[in-house]
A and B are shown apart, each in its own frame.
Chain A
Amino acid sequence: MRSFINPFFAVILAGLLAACSSTPTEEDTSSTDTMPQETQTTPTQPVERPEPAKPETSSIPLTADNFHNHPSNYDGTTDTRVIYFAFDSNTVPAAAFETLRAHAAYLKENPNAKVRLEGHADERGTREYNVALSERRSEAVEKFLRVQGVSASQINTVAYGEEKPAAFGHSEMDWAKNRRVVLNYTAGRP
């Protein structure tokens, strides 16, 4: 299998991850703007955790079918803030487990940190039904974090359905990018 599509998708993926890690939703910037200052003023321990080794994934072709659970999406660090779901599924993909464990560890170490789990659906189907489907996705991620020992008070969920797509096209690949839960740190961002 030649991985001829890799350079192209690497660009898309880089852009996507950059977009995801930059700002949370526009509306809650007021609340998040104040929090990083707090974390700066309180001198917590410097970053001494070793950088987890990011797996080499370039040999695995990225296709519409495996987009949601391609290993390059989940490198086992809290840098990854978006979890992708398979079509019609609210099961957390196994490839995302390491990443979610890293988020759970971070949340447990930083009790002031708060995360909002924003569930999304692709555009197919009716809007309010999609809101309900996307809520099941954010609840699945919430359950995963809670099982890891994260306090319920650190987690909020919101369901956006198909209303805030990450990709605006109408192909299988666009839909795969939109079936997601975004981990939006509203306080104590890593």
Chain B
Amino acid sequence: MMRVNKVRSIAARAAAVMALSMLALAARAELLIQITEGRVDAVPIAVVPFGGADDAPENISDIVRADLHRSGQFKTLQPGDMLSRPTSADQLSYRDFRVLDQEYVVVGSVKATETGAYEVRYGLYDVAREKQLLTESYRPPASQLRDVAHAISDRIYEELTGIQGAFSTKILYVTHNRRADRPYQLQYADADGARVHTIVRSREPIMSPSWSPDGSKIAYVSFEGDGLPKIYVHDLGSAERRVVAQYQGINGAPTWSPNGQKLAITLSKDGNPEIYTLDLNNGALERLTNHYGIDTEPRWMPDGDHLVFTSSRSGGPQIYELNVHDKSTRRVSFEGAYNARPDVTPDGRYLVYVHRRNGSFHVGVQDLQRGTFDIVTQTNMDESPSVAPNGSMIIYGTQHRGTGVLQAVSVDGRVKVELPSKEGEVREPAWSPFL
């Protein structure tokens, strides 16, 4: 019962987000997502096609199978290779899946109800122990079948890995199609690339999108109108937005504090790019850095007491940590001559940033506990890494055949996922918090 309530609130939130009025336009283009490298020790799981799926507008079992596959943690069995296709527990023959070396089976059904809603039931079964691990049911309207599918993926993922699933999250990103009348667009989509929504279209650049910690608002930089940069805070539910910074010079790199009360931003109004906090309740500005070098690209550490940021105070760009209370700084990155645009995992253990090696830009991961540093991408021109709210994956922008695309890689570098775009450039992905 608890679960159903939780899903209802997720669905309600998603419905509110979808109710974006004037500025929101459903786009045809969806991101295609394909996994290029999974773990060798990926867990074999069979998601059997759900009974009654042909009558529902969304194929839940296909979505769940794709979610689990895309995580790189699971090796999913194709329906064509299954010996039997049970749709309920009493039809399940464990033997049919054991001979195919499957460790887990998901079985379920979808049924239209008299009220126009759907009844979705499923169970997760352990093949070796012949034991039911999970069983749940949902009653979503047709418009929320996709949300239910991602919620099921989240439950299965958590049950089998012990880590909260992030399949119900969204990705915010900027697209650039220079042949379009308004080439720059700010969009978001489901974490699997489906259901693309456009938030803003502009003739002038849009940059640095960032989520509020509760996922209800975003902040970004837009040069629309007079061609000068302004920082906006945009409510996704009401589609209302306001300018929170338009000073002389740079207004850039907004990022939300963990408690949602402040933005850390970059301003050059005092003659040089410096990091400030902006209190969203009373508009108070506080300057945190004071150096003639470039200070920009702040990110809050989960404790809310520290920021990491890019600074050129030692010459080239390096990552520094800043105590927001006493404003003391210390250098964090030491490998190579170019380290910039940090993000941090939700547990605060890993810093993820852009690292240049031999003229190529890669995503690097620094373990703050053990002090190690590893490059986790083989792509070139990588930028804007953003960590999933469960810390499992990093999404980032890179180039493929001269066009900006999104890719994802696990923090340990063992799983790689491609997200090629159908039209124009895609860049600056920002992974949402849990919604």
From B204, B341, B361, contact of A128 by CB (8 A) = B341
B228: chain A residues within 8 A (beta carbon):
158
Contact call A132/B273, Cβ cutoff below 8 A: yes
A128 to B267, CA, bound (A): 11
Interface residue? B338 (CB, 8 A):
yes
Question: Closest Cβ of chain A: how far from B56's Cβ, in Å?
Answer: 42
Interface residue? A160 (CB, 8 A):
yes
Contact call B226/A135, Cβ cutoff below 8 A: no
From B207, B249, B381, contact of A123 by CB (8 A) = B381
From A26, A116, A124, A157, contact of B381 by CB (8 A) = A124
Minimal Cβ-Cβ distance residue in A for B427? A127
Contact call B381/A128, Cβ cutoff below 8 A: no
From A116, A127, A160, contact of B383 by CB (8 A) = A127
A164: chain B residues within 8 A (beta carbon):
205
Contact call B208/A129, Cβ cutoff below 8 A: no
B-facing residues in A1-58 (Cβ within 8 Å): 25-28, 31
Contact call A163/B223, Cβ cutoff below 8 A: yes
A126: chain B residues within 8 A (beta carbon):
297, 310, 317, 340-341, 354, 383-384
Interface residue? B294 (CB, 8 A):
yes
Interface residue? A159 (CB, 8 A):
yes
What sequence of 0s and 1s flags, for each residue 250-271 of chain B, a beta carbon within 8 Å of any chain A beta carbon? 1011000000000000101000
B383: chain A residues within 8 A (beta carbon):
125-127
Contact call A131/B252, Cβ cutoff below 8 A: yes
Contact call B402/A169, Cβ cutoff below 8 A: yes
Main secondary structure of the interface of A (DSSP, over half): mixed
Interface residue? A133 (CB, 8 A):
yes
A159 to B208, CA, bound (A): 14
Question: Closest Cβ of chain B: how far from A114's Cβ, in Å?
Answer: 13
A27: chain B residues within 8 A (beta carbon):
203-204, 223-227
Contact call A135/B227, Cβ cutoff below 8 A: no
A129 to B354, CA, bound (A): 11
Given contacts A28-B227, A135-B250, A170-B402, contact A129 B296 (CB under 8 A): yes
What sequence of 0s and 1s flags, for each residue 274-304 of chain B, a beta carbon within 8 Å of any chain A beta carbon? 0000000000000000000010110000000
A132: chain B residues within 8 A (beta carbon):
250, 266, 268, 273, 294, 296, 312
A164 to B227, CA, bound (A): 11
Interface residue? B95 (CB, 8 A):
no
B312: chain A residues within 8 A (beta carbon):
129, 132
Interface residue? B428 (CB, 8 A):
yes
Interface residue? B178 (CB, 8 A):
yes
A128 to B311, CA, bound (A): 11
Interface residue? B399 (CB, 8 A):
yes
Given contacts A27-B226, A126-B354, contact A160 B205 (CB under 8 A): yes
A161 to B383, CA, bound (A): 14
Question: Closest Cβ of chain A: how far from B292's Cβ, in Å?
Answer: 11
Contact call A129/B249, Cβ cutoff below 8 A: no
B229: chain A residues within 8 A (beta carbon):
131, 158-159
Question: Closest Cβ of chain B: how far from A63's Cβ, in Å?
Answer: 19
Contact call B268/A135, Cβ cutoff below 8 A: yes
From B226, B249, B297, B356, contact of A159 by CB (8 A) = B249
A12 to B77, CA, bound (A): 54
From B178, B225, B294, B361, contact of A124 by CB (8 A) = B361
Given contacts A127-B383, A128-B341, A135-B273, contact A163 B225 (CB under 8 A): no
From B204, B253, B268, contact of A25 by CB (8 A) = B204
B-facing residues in A154-180 (Cβ within 8 Å): 157-161, 163-164, 168-170
B207: chain A residues within 8 A (beta carbon):
127-128, 131, 161, 163
Contact call A127/B384, Cβ cutoff below 8 A: yes
Question: Closest Cβ of chain B: how far from A49's Cβ, in Å?
Answer: 30
What are 17 pairs between A and B in contact, CB < 8 Å? A25-B204, A26-B203, A27-B226, A28-B226, A124-B381, A125-B317, A126-B317, A128-B207, A128-B208, A128-B266, A129-B341, A132-B273, A132-B296, A158-B227, A159-B229, A159-B250, A169-B402
3 shortest interchain CB distances as A-B pairs: A163-B205, A126-B341, A132-B294
